[in-house]
Amino acid sequence: MKKGVFPDNFLWGGATAANQVEGAWNIDGKGLSVADCSNYKPKADPKDYKAQHVITVKDIEEAMKSQNTEIYPKRHGIDFYNRFREDLDLFAEMGFKTLRVSIAWTRIFPNGTEDEPNEKGLQYYEDLFIEMKKRNIEPLVTLSHYEMPLYLSNNYDGWYKREVVDFFVKFCKVVFKRYKNYVKYWLTFNEIDSIFRHPFTTAGIVNERYPSDKLEEIIYQSLHHQFIASSLATKYCHEIIPDSKIGCMLTRTLYYPENCNPKNCLLAQKDNRDNYFYSDVQVFGEYPLFVKREWKKKGINVKFENGDEEILKLYTVDFVSFSYYMSLVSSINAEEKEKVSGNLTAGVKNPFLDVTEWNWQIDPDGLHFSLIDLYDRYRKPLFIVENGIGSKDKVEEDGSIIDDYRIDYFRQHITAISNAIDDGVEVMGYTPWGSIDLVSMSTCQMSKRYGFIYVDLDDEGKGTYNRSRKKSFYWYKKVISSNGSDLE
């Protein structure tokens, strides 16, 4: 650990997403989002990412009819909508310089298509940002974090239809204008690469609605629309808020070759390049040649409208943000190897690494590696906007929570960041995922806890919603006040 390397203006904080914390799913004019259809499956194996994440037309129809919040836990979240002042006090007590939140599109445009925005939704976020500012917490705002209007999925094929770009840009302009005095840091699409892992959550695409041999093309087309929307959001963000900074957001999954067999090295190179493709488009402003060649070979036809190439080229991002949870192994003999799960993905197990209770590989050195690699590739400031360990926490009789495993995890990852900074990488900030327990994106569990703050709520939605400080709360507070020097 290199002491004293974090810059004075380093943005320490935490990260959340509207659909996993706010609750109030049908309050103050909010429309249904894709997240409101995501159901808790008590019988599914939480390590089986496919079982957790398949969505059918029937599932959507049932969700639309249901008022239930226990089956659909993202509808209750952790009631941040009503308790955000109390939560901000706790974040401020830890010394947060920033908090990553997202704006639920459906609070502003309930169906996505309305002419006028919903004032109550706009007011809610204005209040949130004012309260953050009062506590010297800089908002870091994601424009799209797995919560597009369900109406657009049902009536516009999600991001497959070009019109959705216009609806999204309209939403962006409204929020830029309304919050220009409060929000300087923005992110466009959360984990934009996730569209292939979960097309519904990311882009409102329900696989069974389309012929399976067309699905890849449909997903690429939808992704193209998101790239265009991201570039236009960047353009208007800069025009409306001249001192703003806007970034892309990638799930950084690092691939190591299984061994020095050149075939494994080539495979790892390919896997890493496939991962970088998404940020390459948003940083370099053009599609890599290898993607265009792949489309040609597979007969995939992605429609570009006149001016699309120019839009991508002109409006590239100011910084690169990413989530980092794990690394995986690339092996030409993958079928024979033991597997681990992950961010709704799966890969070959690395024998040198431990895994979390959810079978996610823990690899702080991989964060160091990724930071150097991303910086060498892009020469843009980097922002780690998600990282953390999902764990079951035990509440002791006196109410305390001794989460040494979490402290240990963060100690190692913050050390990795400091080592990368010492190696000459420019890092803007670090916002561990959750920072307060919230509903899991993939499994809808509450028991998969990420926070420094405990929320009294179980997987069935039972509990008081009371907040309490875990041991890691005091530890992270010390880390922030020492600007990353004191990790003991």
Task: State the residues that interact with ligand BGP by CB under 6 A.
Answer: 17, 20, 190-191, 251, 323, 343, 386, 390, 433, 440-443, 448
- The residue annotated as part of the active site, out of 191, 239, 305, 460, is 191
CB nearer to ligand BGP: give 21 or 219. Answer: 21
CB of 80 to ligand BGP, least distance (A): 14
CB nearer to ligand BGP: give 74 or 470. Answer: 74
CB nearer to ligand BGP: give 378 or 433. Answer: 433
CB of 198 to ligand BGP, least distance (A): 9
Q: Rounded to whole angstroms, how far apart are CA atoms 219 and 185?
A: 28
CB of 432 to ligand BGP, least distance (A): 11
CB nearer to ligand BGP: give 315 or 360. Answer: 360
CB of 151 to ligand BGP, least distance (A): 22
CB nearer to ligand BGP: give 257 or 366. Answer: 366
CB of 251 to ligand BGP, least distance (A): 6
CB nearer to ligand BGP: give 17 or 132. Answer: 17
CB of 313 to ligand BGP, least distance (A): 28
Residue 386 bears catalytic tag: yes
CB nearer to ligand BGP: give 6 or 325. Answer: 325
CB of 460 to ligand BGP, least distance (A): 17
- The residue annotated as part of the active site, out of 386, 397, 460, 488, is 386
Q: Which residues are catalytic?
A: 191, 386
